[in-house]
């Protein structure tokens, strides 16, 4: 009987400061929205085990520690990503304008093998703050023009579309991951227990904390 490779999907969340990246992750993983949760867990990640197309996969979601203010996230953050989530705040137009540069930054830093096909997902967050919620046509058009990026309008606060968005993220990440290297290569260096000195050194160099 053939053994099935276990899948680990690395998902990274990018976007301007305060658009709700940490809150979205917290809502998805912990089902909680808390103003106290500032946490910002560094160049670090939360994991969630999920089922996608009858396969059990572990999604590793990387959040930033606020370094996005300086656009200096370090190469370890981007390395080996299977999906990149771009978040903006529907009430702050500049955060939408900046998606272009976040996407460019990702493509430069992660340099995926096939940039045109790389899975992005765009989230327009904080829809609960809109008094007359209307789908953002400009965001929809921008996503269409970038090879049909899936687009969701979400509220981390009220849990709107968060589950659905992350299901799509997982599905598209899995499609990207199929045929890639062994799981070993997906783990970040800091949890490799092989005592590789170079890796350890590299880690401390990369640490942005
Ligand atoms: P970031 O990780 O992108 O920097 P945060 O953003 O998750 O830290 O959120 C920034 C602020 O926006 C927080 O408020 C948070 O509570 C709020 N926020 C995040 N998502 C939503 C949402 O969907 N709706 C609303 N109304 N607010 C949201 P504070 O006041 O703590 O700075
Ligand atoms: Mg944050």
Q: Is residue 77 part of a domain?
A: yes
Number of domains within the chain: 1
Q: Is residue 139 part of a domain?
A: yes
Query: From the CB of residue 135, how many other CB atoms can be counted at a distance below 10 Å?
Result: 11
Query: What CATH number has the domain bearing residue 168?
Result: 3.40.50.300
Which atom of ligand 1 lies closest to the CA of 38? 8
In eight-state DSSP terms, residue 166 is H
42-90 confidence digits (pLDDT tens): 546 889 999 998 889 999 999 887 677 766 777 888 999 999 999 999 9
Give dist(CA 31, CA 110) in Å, integer: 29
Tell me the residue range of the domain where 83 lies.
Answer: 6-205
Global pTM reads 0.83
Ligand 1 centroid to residue 34 C-alpha, Å: 9
With CA atoms as reference, report the closest residue to 173 among 6, 24, 10, 15: 10
Q: Is residue 1 part of a domain?
A: no
Using the predicted structure, report yes or no on whether residue 208 has a pLDDT greater than 80: no
With CA atoms as reference, report the closest residue to 25 among 171, 14, 104, 53: 14
Ligand 1 centroid to residue 84 C-alpha, Å: 19
78-96 confidence digits (pLDDT tens): 999 999 999 999 999 999 9
| Helix orientation angle between 162-177 and 21-30, rounded to the nearest 10 degrees | 90
Ligand 1 centroid to residue 18 C-alpha, Å: 6
- Region 130-137 average pLDDT: 86
């Amino acid at each position: 009987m053939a053994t099935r490779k276990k899948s680990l999907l690395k998902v990274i969340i990018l976007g301007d400061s305060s658009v709700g990246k940490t809150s979205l992750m917290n809502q998805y993983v912990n089902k909680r929205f808390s103003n106290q949760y500032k946490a910002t867990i560094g160049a670090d990640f939360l994991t969630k085990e999920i089922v996608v197309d009858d396969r059990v996969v572990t999604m590793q979601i990387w959040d930033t520690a606020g370094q996005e203010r300086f656009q200096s996230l370090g190469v370890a953050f981007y390395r080996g990503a299977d999906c990149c989530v771009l978040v903006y705040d529907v009430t702050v137009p500049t955060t939408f304008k900046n998606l272009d540069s976040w996407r460019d930054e990702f493509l430069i830093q992660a340099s995926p093998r096939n940039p045109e096909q790389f899975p992005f997902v765009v989230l327009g967050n904080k829809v609960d703050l809109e008094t007359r919620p209307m789908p953002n046509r400009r965001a929809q058009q921008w996503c269409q023009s970038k090879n049909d990026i899936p687009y969701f309008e979400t509220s981390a606060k009220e849990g709107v579309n968060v589950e659905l968005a992350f299901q799509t993220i997982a599905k598209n990440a899995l499609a990207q991951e199929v045929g890639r290297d062994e799981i070993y290569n997906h783990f970040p260096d800091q949890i490799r227990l092989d005592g590789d000195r170079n890796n350890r050194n590299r880690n401390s160099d990369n640490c942005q904390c």
